[in-house]
């Protein structure tokens, strides 16, 4: 039976974590949902989950945890668990795949187990990183303001 490390997301805001969502899911709810995902993938969760703080992402220690727990994969509650600041950690995802781990994303309903699936995910992550960087920049705000005045 496959062994998966669950990555729970510690939300910055427990109330209204995103538009239309009144409260963030608890660790218990996240763990239960990830347990079902692990079962669907023919496996189980290792007993102790990893906790990623929103905005800080998954640290280097996750790799030693995966090795120590003899995991086959890692299941993240949400893509937000790999966001560091404004950027999604593409290098982390690539390394997890390179080290041979399946990478699952529960909320986004994605599983990366092949190179083509990794490439597809990385492409999307790069696009979103680029868009977020541009949208937060002062030069973009100036462009929008100029267009607005036209």
Partner 1 sequence: MTDSQKFLHDFEEFGYCIVPADDRAELDRLRSDVRDVLYDQLKVKSGDVQNDLDHIHRHCGDSAEIDRLRLAVTPIIAEKSMANRRIFAAFHSKLTSLVGQDVLAQRVPNVVLQPPNHPTPTELHRDAPANSPYEIVVWLPLVDCHHSKSLYILNRESTRAALELYRLNPNDAEAFEGLLDARAELVDVPYGSALLFWSALFHGSQVNTESETRVSLNTRYKHLFAPLGMKDPFRYFEILQTTELMRLGLAFQRSEDM
Residue placing its CB nearer to partner 1 in the complex, 7 or 46: 7
Distance CA 7, CA 59 (A): 11
Residues 6+ apart with CB under 8 A from 58: 7, 50, 52, 76, 81, 82, 89, 92
Residue placing its CB nearer to partner 1 in the complex, 23 or 126: 126
Q: Shortest approach of partner 1 to residue 126 CB, angstroms?
A: 5
Q: Shortest approach of partner 1 to residue 89 CB, angstroms?
A: 10
CA separation, residue 58 to residues 42, 77, 80 (Å): 24, 12, 10
Phi, psi at 69, each rounded to 5°: -90, 5
Residue placing its CB nearer to partner 1 in the complex, 20 or 28: 20
Phi, psi at 41, each rounded to 5°: -90, 10
Q: Shortest approach of partner 1 to residue 124 CB, angstroms?
A: 6
Distance CA 138, CA 40 (A): 45
Q: Shortest approach of partner 1 to residue 106 CB, angstroms?
A: 11
Residue placing its CB nearer to partner 1 in the complex, 41 or 128: 128
Residues that bind partner 1 (CB under 8 A): 18-20, 79, 90-91, 93-94, 98, 105, 107-110, 119-120, 122-124, 126-128, 130-132, 134-135
């Amino acid at each position: 039976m496959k062994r998966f490390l669950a990555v729970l997301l510690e939300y910055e805001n427990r109330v209204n974590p995103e538009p239309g969502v009144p409260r963030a899911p608890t660790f218990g709810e996240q763990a239960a949902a990830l347990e079902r995902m692990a079962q669907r993938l023919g496996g189980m969760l290792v007993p102790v989950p990893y906790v990623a703080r929103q905005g800080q992402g998954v640290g280097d220690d996750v790799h030693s945890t995966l090795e120590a727990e003899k995991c086959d994969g890692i299941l993240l509650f949400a893509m937000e668990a790999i966001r560091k600041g404004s950027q999604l950690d593409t290098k982390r995802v690539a390394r997890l795949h390179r080290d041979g781990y399946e990478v699952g994303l529960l909320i986004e309903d994605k599983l990366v187990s092949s190179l083509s699936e990794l490439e597809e995910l990385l492409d999307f992550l790069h696009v979103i990183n680029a868009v977020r960087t541009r949208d937060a920049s002062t030069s973009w705000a100036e462009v929008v303001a100029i267009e607005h005045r036209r």
